[in-house]
Every structure is written in C-alpha cells, then in structure tokens.
Amino acid sequence: MKINQTANGRARHSVRADGGQGTARPTALWLLIFGSWMLVASPLFADETSATSPQVVVAVTNTVLDEAAVTKLLTAALQEQYTGADGELALRFTRPWVSQNAPAGQPTLKILEMQNSGVTSAFLVRFQIFAASGASLGNWQVPVQAHLWREIHVARSMLKPGVLVADADIALERRDALALRAPLAEFADGDTTLEIAESVPAGSPLFARAVKLRPVVRRGEMTNARLEDGTLSVTMKVQALEDGTPGQIIRLRNLQSARDFSGKVLDEKTVLVSL
C-alpha cells in the first residue's frame, strides 16, 4: 500500500494492479458481481416473485361500431320495415365507415329518413344508433347499394302464349329482385288456373304480365247464356266474342238474332246475363 499526499493534505490510498504489496486481485470483485446477478436472475427467485404477484385482468367495456356491425343493424331494420321476409337483403356501404367505440351492450338502430320508393338497388338512408342504455350515439346518413336475393320463376326454354303454367318449362333460380324493374309473377307450383300470356325467352324471369288466369270461356266457342229477370230464368246458346275467366264480363252474340250483349262468366259452361 502506498500513501500519497493529495492537494488538500489528506492521505489517498492507491492499489496497484501488478499484484505487489498493497495490491488486490480483481477476481474477488468479479465473483461478487457474478454471484449477485445469478441470485437475481435465478428461476427459483423468479417463480417465488411471480407466485406472489396479483394477476391483471382487463375487462372489455366497449362495443366497436365498425362497418360490419352497423351494416348488420341496418339490414335487420330495413328487412323488418320494408322488405319483410320476402328474400334475403344484402347491403354494402359505398362510402367508407369510420369505426367508433360504444358502451358495452347490444346497440339498436332506428331509421329516420328513407326514400319514398323504399329499398332499391342504390339509395340514401339516414338512421340513428342507440346504446343498450337507450342513450343516442349519433345520427348518420350513408349511401347504400342493395341486393334482394330471392328464388324466382325463370323460363328454362322458350315459353309460348296459351301454355298452362303447370305444364311450362319453368324452374326456380336465385336472382336479385331489385335488379328487375317489373313485378314478378307469383304462383304455386302446379297451378292450373294460370297460363302464359306472352312469349318468354329462355333464361328470362316470369314477370306478372307474362301470366294470366286461364280462360274458361274461349273466343268463338259456344256457351250457355242464362237470362234472369226476377224469378224468370231463360237459358240460350250464345257465341263468346272474347275470352273470359270466372267473374269477368265478356261480349256475347245471339247467332239467331245477330244481337250482341254482355254477360258475366260463371264457369266454363255458363254466362250470366242480366236484363
């Protein structure tokens, strides 16, 4: 050990690293540091520490109103108020939706404003969303594209007028009803009261105008005309001048007198004439 005098008069001890008298090897110091590190990093001590530490549980308290969630709410509201169970409604926002957080619970949606024509292929709709507590989360107006998927009757081959619907080559196909501009024909499979009213190309949907009630009285056919006047009833043979379905008023002709008059079709054999 060598004692040096410092500037302030105090003794300063110095340690030489050459191992001579008054020096100390650094081995003991490194062993002390390494041993301390092993104690801190030891799995044994780590397990004991984690065993006594409390677990942190993060509770989810918000609902995310993203585009998928809002689209689902709007679809359900439009289906209930406008399209009903008549097909499967599918919507797509044509403007990006900005997601936001909402209080936990199931939100609800109320339609505030809708076009007079209802749900079409493209429209604007304004709505309000409420939290589960009933508090309003805001109003939005968004442009929407829509499809209404339905099973509709489609001609599989060329259909000609006069063919019974029950005998026509028709199949059900899934189509977007909103893309069709005219009302569709509605009938049950095997309906014998309807016939094809106009030519329908293969692959085309059957619109309402393409079918009609099957006439029970045909133009040019002879039928019975029943004339009633109070308790008096007379039946005579007449010629139908036009097709007629039950309940329809058609023109008739008495071939003997060449007189024309009108009558109400009752069935395929009888037309009622009131005097």
pLDDT tens digits, 160-179: 999 999 999 999 999 999 99
> Is it the case that residue 201 has pLDDT exceeding 60?
yes
Q: For residue 233, what pLDDT is reported?
A: 84
pLDDT tens digits, 22-61: 444 555 555 555 555 454 444 443 344 334 333 333 333 4
Confirm whether pTM is higher than 0.85: no
Q: For residue 241, what pLDDT is reported?
A: 94
Please report which confidence band the pLDDT of residue 181 belongs to, taking 50, 70 and 90 as the band edges: confident
Q: Going by DSSP bridges, is the β-strand pair 259-265/249-254 parallel, antiparallel, or unpaired?
A: antiparallel
Burial, 230: exposed, middle or buried (Cβ in 10 Å; 0-12, 13-18, 19+)? exposed
> Is it the case that residue 7 has pLDDT exceeding 50?
no
175 close to 149: Cβ distance less than 8 angstroms = yes
Measure Cα distances from 258 to 182, 225, 250, 261 in Å: 42, 15, 16, 10
Tokens of 270: 């009888």
| Higher per-residue pLDDT: 179 or 19 | 179
Please report which confidence band the pLDDT of residue 189 belongs to, taking 50, 70 and 90 as the band edges: confident
> Is it the case that residue 258 has pLDDT exceeding 70?
yes
Q: Domains of the chain, with CATH numbers? A: 62-149 (no CATH), 150-213 (3.90.1210), 222-274 (2.30.30.760)
112 close to 96: Cβ distance less than 8 angstroms = no
* Backbone phi and psi for residue 73, each to the nearest 5 degrees, phi listed first: -65, -45
pLDDT tens digits, 124-149: 999 999 999 999 999 999 999 999 99
Share of the chain above pLDDT 90, in %: 60
